[in-house]
Amino acid sequence: MTETINTAFYQTKNSSPGVPNTPMTLKERMESLELAPYFMMYTNLMTYPLKFRQHVLAIKEKLTYAKTASRFGVGMASLMRWNRRITPCTTHNKPATKIDMEALAQDVATYPDDYQYERAQRFGVSAQGIRHALKRLRVSRKKNTSASQS
């Protein structure tokens, strides 16, 4: 049963259906795999498609986490996470930022010499939050263009 399900995702070269493969080294196995096109599309991305996750979990029912992870080239932590929740989390339930970017740009124009901790007190946020917001606005610290005299 497992052999017929797996042939949809990969087949080894020089193997006939129904005949078990002889053990190979990892290098030989990687060279001999002919992976299905949709599987190859998602190997370098951050998330795997839901269909692939469902297939891996169906195979996992017959194998251990370690064997399933090595067979499909995914991490064991990913398998355990998929077992808990198969659909990927797409959104976070929090606002992008507490700082109004237009108000911060106006504050920078009004008070160009203020320190970040002073801006943080006016906005009611941390100085680190101001630093990140200024970075998003692409505002760098004020630089002295003339050389100092000593």
The better pLDDT of the pair 145, 20 is held by 145
Separation of alpha carbons 139 and 141, rounded Å: 7
Rounded mean pLDDT, 43-63: 79
Report CA-CA distances (Å) from 108 to 104, 120, 121, 135.
6, 12, 14, 12
| pLDDT-based confidence at residue 20 (cuts at 50, 70, 90) | low
Written as six digits, the tokens of 30 are: 């990687």
pLDDT tens-digit series, residues 59-90: 888 888 888 888 888 888 988 888 888 877 76
Mean pLDDT of all residues belonging to the chain: 74
Classify 134 as helix, strand or coil. Answer: helix
Domain ranges of the chain: 2-84, 101-136
Q: Is the model's pTM score more than 0.75?
A: no
Kindly state the average pLDDT of the residues 112-123: 92
The rounded distance, in Å, linking the Cα atoms of 31 and 16 is 17
Looking at residue 85, the DSSP 8-state letter turns out to be: -
Q: What is the pLDDT of residue 4?
A: 43
Query: Rounded distance, CA 113 to CA 32, Å?
Result: 64
